[in-house]
């Protein structure tokens, strides 16, 4: 059974998200993740770093941070509001 994930509108996600941090996955030390924190410093969700970078694709080095932020903010699941 597949459940469709619904995402927050970009503007709502932008108000909710305080930080996106690249971190080591504690369960898999050889893997990196992007952990998303609220403005209240509460962990909301995470993304696989390599998958995000693959989906973002080739961008100029100076544009990479903005491209990743845009990607993540467009994919914040609605269920984070229940945390």
Domain boundaries, the chain: 10-82
The closest of 34, 74, 64 to 51, measured between CA atoms, is 34
CA–CA gap between residue 70 and residue 17 (Å, rounded): 12
| Interval 37-65: pLDDT, tens | 999 999 999 999 999 999 999 999 899 99
Question: Tell me, what's the pLDDT at 29?
Answer: 86
What are the φ/ψ torsions at residue 2 (nearest 5 degrees)? -105, 135
| Interval 8-27: pLDDT, tens | 999 999 999 999 999 999 89
Q: Average pLDDT over the chain, rounded to whole?
A: 94
Question: Tell me, what's the pLDDT at 61?
Answer: 80
């Amino acid at each position: 059974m597949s459940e469709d994930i619904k995402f927050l509108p970009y503007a709502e996600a932008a108000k909710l998200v305080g930080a996106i941090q690249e971190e080591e996955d504690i369960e898999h030390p050889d893997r990196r993740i992007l952990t998303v924190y609220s403005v209240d410093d509460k962990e909301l969700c995470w993304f696989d770093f390599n998958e995000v970078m693959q989906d973002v694709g080739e961008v100029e080095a100076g544009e990479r941070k903005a491209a990743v932020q845009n990607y993540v903010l467009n994919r914040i699941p609605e269920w984070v509001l229940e945390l």
